[in-house]
């Protein structure tokens, strides 16, 4: 299930170089301490410099799960 969510995130949000760069800048920036980045389908909520959540904005029509949540403690992004 987590792999499916990650695949959907990558397909919908990291499809184009410009969007990829904006997401990376938002996540890695030391100047953005907290906030939300709204993508096409997912929202990235930055809690502090090291922790952010990725969740679907709407209910997925296939499996009716309200929100998927990916918690990631940012150590190193490749």
Written as six digits, the tokens of 68 are 């998927």
In-domain check, residue 65: yes
User: Distance between CA 51 and CA 39 in Å, rounded?
Assistant: 18
pLDDT value, residue 77:
45
In-domain check, residue 58: yes
In-domain check, residue 78: no
pLDDT value, residue 75:
40
Count of domains forming the chain = 1
Domain that holds residue 38: 2-73
Q: β-strands 69-73, 51-56: how paired?
A: antiparallel
**22-55 pLDDT per residue, tens:** 999 999 999 999 999 998 888 899 998 888 888 8
Place of tokens 């909520």: 45
- For 37, half-sphere exposure in the C-beta direction (CA atoms, 13 angstrom radius) is 23
User: Distance between CA 25 and CA 16 in Å, rounded?
Assistant: 14
pLDDT class of 65 with cuts at 50, 70, 90: low
- Burial grade of 26 (CB within 10 A; 0-12, 13-18, 19 or more): middle
């Amino acid at each position: 299930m987590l792999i499916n969510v990650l695949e959907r995130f990558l397909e919908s949000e990291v499809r184009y170089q410009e969007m990829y760069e904006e997401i990376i800048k938002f996540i890695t920036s030391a100047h953005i301490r907290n906030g939300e980045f709204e993508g096409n389908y997912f929202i990235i909520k930055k809690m502090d410099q090291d922790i952010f959540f990725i969740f679907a904005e709407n209910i997925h029509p296939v499996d009716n799960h309200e929100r998927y949540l990916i918690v990631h403690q940012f150590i190193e992004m490749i």
